[in-house]
Amino acid sequence: MDLGPHAAFIVTAYAAAIVIVAGLIVWVIADRRHLARALDELDAQGIARRSQGASKEKP
Amino acid sequence: MPVIDYANPSRFVALADRVLPWLMGATLLAFALGIWSAYLAPDDYQQGATVKIMFIHVPAAWLGTFGWVLMSAAALGTLVWRHPLADVAAKAAAPIGAAFTLMCLVTGSLWGRPMWGTYWVWDARLTSVLVLFIMYLGVIALWRTIEEPARAAKVVAVLTLVGAINIPIIKFSVDWWNTLHQPASVLRLGGSTIHPTILLPLITALVAFTLLFLTLHLAAMRNEIMRRRVRTMLMMQADARA
């Protein structure tokens, strides 16, 4: 594909878009993993939210 | 199940878990179509191949403003209806809207240099989009500054609604003032001025990026609900130790 005399601007614009979108995806995935780990650790310590405790008490 | 039941965060998370894989699949499919049609799109008779920057710049601009409109609707949900997920939606949208606004500014500058002869000019459209980006950063900073989520939500909601004044300014800046930026060419009375061979890839890119925004937003909302669970459990742990 011939991008003409302004190829550097086109390629840089697409590269910037890829970096920003990849950054967003990595942020969402890393945040979820970090939070899931924190929840697991708290669960392992036997800490339950009120709603969890209430649901466990129900027959 | 009535729609109102999804206001319950646990039910919302269960719904998000079911919807997200489908949304991701639709996003990937739309991007495959978008990239293919952008590759096949002809050069513009005046702008040459730089018109390809439009396929990322216009969706980024649309989603930068869409993010703030979504946050404004959520702000009303927080202040008027006190919907339990409204501030979750607002907080999750802020970094995503900021990222797309940044993408709009960067790709716009890189398009402007070969077409206008400059990366930046302080005209109404460019400046109002820069103001939008700064407002996003302000909202993100405010969420991080106020520790109590319910209190932060109210303060952020007021700031968001005040900032919504900027959205029509961005949209109509090219009509109200003389700017280097071209006037509206996609959504305008009398129809689009873009040739179908370029308009179709643009619409495909708009759909793909919008699906990406919705996927990321749903995933970020699910994360925010988890963050609040962690916070509640840490507070219970601290109470138990006290």
Task: Quote the minimal CA–CA distance from A30 to chain B in Å.
Answer: 10
- For the beta carbon of residue B165, count every other beta carbon within 10 angstroms: 8
Helix (H) or strand (E) holding B128: helix B124-145
| Percent of chain A with pLDDT strictly greater than 90 | 54
Residue B48 φ/ψ, nearest 5 degrees: 65, -145
Phi, psi of B12 (to 5 degrees): -65, -40
Quick check: B38 contacting A, CB < 8 Å? no
pTM assigned to the model? 0.90
* For B47, nearest residue in chain A (alpha carbons): A6
**ipTM entry:** 0.89
Report the chain A residue with the minimal C-alpha distance to residue B212: A21
The pair phi, psi for residue B166, each rounded to 5°, is: -70, -20
Q: Contact at 8 Å (CB) between A38 and B77?
A: no
Q: Which residues of chain B neighbour A48 with C-beta distances below 8 Å?
A: 233
B55-112 tens-digit pLDDT = 999 999 999 999 999 999 999 999 998 888 999 999 999 999 999 999 999 999 999 9
Least reliable range by pLDDT among A6-10, A19-23, B19-23: A6-10
Predicted confidence band of residue A56 (pLDDT cuts 50, 70, 90): very low
Task: Check B50 against A6: CB less than 8 A apart.
Answer: yes
A28 touching B, CB under 8 A? yes
Residues 6+ apart with CB under 8 A from B193: B185
Chain A residues within 8 A of B230 when measuring between CB atoms: 35, 38-39, 42
Q: Give pLDDT, residue B2.
A: 57
In a mutational test of the B interface, the residue from A31, A33, A39, A52 whose CB has the highest number of chain B CBs within 10 Å is A31
Q: Distance between CA atoms of A43 and A58, rounded to whole angstroms?
A: 19
* pLDDT < 50: residue spans in chain B: none
Minimal Cα distance from B111: which residue of A? A9
- Rounded to whole angstroms, how far apart are CA atoms B159 and B87? 13
The answer to whether the CB of B220 falls within 8 A of the CB of A28 is yes
Token duo for residue B1: 């199940």
pLDDT tier at A38, thresholds 50, 70, 90: very high
Give one DSSP letter per residue of B150-203, joined into a string: HHHHHHHHHHHHHHTTHHHHHHHHHHHS--SS----SS-TT---S-HHHHHHHH
User: Closest to A42 (Cβ–Cβ): which among B48, B113, B237?
Assistant: B237
- Distance CA(B230)–CA(B236), nearest Å, equals 10
Question: Cβ contacts (< 8 Å) between A9 and chain B: which residues?
Answer: 50, 53, 110-111, 113-114
Asked if B222 and B13 touch (Cβ cutoff 8 Å), the reply is: yes
B139, B67 Cβ separation under 8 angstroms: no
Q: Answer whether B39 touches A (CB < 8 Å).
A: yes
> How far is the C-alpha of B35 from the C-alpha of B201, rounded, in Å?
8
Helices (H), A1-59: 7-44, 50-57
DSSP per position, B7-73: GSHHHHHHHHHHHHHHHHHHHHHHHHHHHHHHHHPPPBTTTBGGGGGHHHHHHHHHHHHHHHHHHHH
| Residue carrying structure tokens 């002809």 | B42
User: Would you list the domain boundaries of chain B?
Assistant: 20-183+191-235
Stretch A31-59: mean pLDDT: 74
Reported confidence tier of residue A55, pLDDT bands at 50, 70, 90: very low
